[in-house]
Homo-oligomer: A and B are copies of this chain.
Amino acid sequence: MTELEFIDQLKKLATHPAARGLCDDAAVIPFGRHKLVMTHDMLVEGVHFLPEADAADVAWKLVAVNLSDLAAKGAKPMGVLMGYSRGNDDIWDAAFVRGLKEALASFSVPLLGGDTVSSGENGRRTMGLTAFGEARGHIVPARSGAAPGHSIYVTGNIGDAWAGLQLASGTAQAADFEISAALLKAHNRPAPRLEDGRALSPLVSSMMDISDGLLLDASRIADASNVRMEIDLGEVPLSEPFVAVFGESEDARMKAATGGDDYQLLLTASPETVLPTKLTKIGQCRAGSGVSLVQKGEEVGLPASLGFVHA
Distance in angstroms from A2 CB to nearest chain B CB is 10
Q: Given A36-B36, A110-B14, A112-B16, A120–B47 Cβ distance below 8 Å?
A: yes
A3 touching B115, Cβ below 8 Å? no
- A273 interface residue per 8 A CB criterion: no
By size class, the interface of chain A is 35 or more
Within 8 Å CB of A14, what residues of B? 110-113
Closest residue on chain B to residue A90 by CB atoms: B1
Which residues of A in the span 20-51 have a Cβ within 8 Å of any Cβ on B?
22, 26-27, 29, 31-34, 36, 38-42, 44, 46-48
Kindly report how many copies of this chain are found in the complex they form together.
Answer: 2
A 63-93 binary contact with B (CB < 8 Å = 1; else 0): 0000000000000001101110110001001
Residue from the list B19, B44, B90, B115 in contact with A111, Cβ < 8 A: B19
Q: Given A13-B111, A14-B112, A104-B13, A118–B311 Cβ distance below 8 Å?
A: yes
Interface residues of A (CB under 8 A from B): 1, 3, 6-7, 9-10, 13-16, 18-19, 22, 26-27, 29, 31-34, 36, 38-42, 44, 46-48, 78-79, 81-83, 85-86, 90, 93-94, 97, 100-101, 104, 110-120, 122-124, 126, 128, 130, 132, 134, 310-311
Given contacts A6-B86, A130-B130, 12 further A-B contacts (CB under 8 A): A1-B90, A3-B118, A9-B93, A14-B113, A16-B79, A18-B79, A19-B111, A38-B132, A47-B120, A83-B128, A85-B126, A119-B126
